[in-house]
């Protein structure tokens, strides 16, 4: 059996054509895949930043509550002392 550019032993011309079409389609869809991956990365980054901001806010509110608690304890201690 003679082998040409389009044929290899055990493969048909249709198989090679389908493989070329698949590669071409994959190459055409690559920018879309890259854009999707970039957007997923940006969304994860934004969510991470939102989580960090919530943690900072929670710590700030906790410190504020601790200061208010200390003021209340001092006020009670002063009231009891008099």
Question: Which tens digit of pLDDT belongs to each residue from 4-22?
Answer: 555 555 556 677 777 778 7
pLDDT of residue 44: 98
Q: Sorting pLDDT into bands at 50, 70 and 90, what band is 50?
A: very high
Task: Classify residue 49 as exposed, middle or buried by CB count within 10 Å of its CB (0-12, 13-18, 19+).
Answer: exposed
Determine the Cα–Cα distance for residues 50 and 38; give it in Å rounded to an integer.
18
Work out whether the CA dihedral 72, 73, 76, 77 comes out positive or negative: negative
More confident residue, 27 or 59: 59
Beta-carbon contacts of 1 under 8 Å, excluding residues fewer than 6 positions away, are 9
pLDDT bin (cut points 50, 70, 90) of residue 30 is: confident
């Amino acid at each position: 059996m003679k082998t040409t550019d389009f044929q290899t032993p055990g493969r048909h011309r249709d198989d090679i054509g389908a493989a070329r079409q698949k590669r071409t389609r994959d190459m055409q869809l690559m920018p879309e895949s890259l854009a999707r991956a970039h957007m997923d990365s940006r969304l994860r980054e934004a969510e991470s930043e939102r989580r960090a901001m919530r943690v900072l806010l929670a710590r700030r509110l906790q410190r504020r509550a601790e200061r208010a608690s200390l003021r209340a304890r001092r006020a009670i201690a002063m009231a009891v002392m008099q």
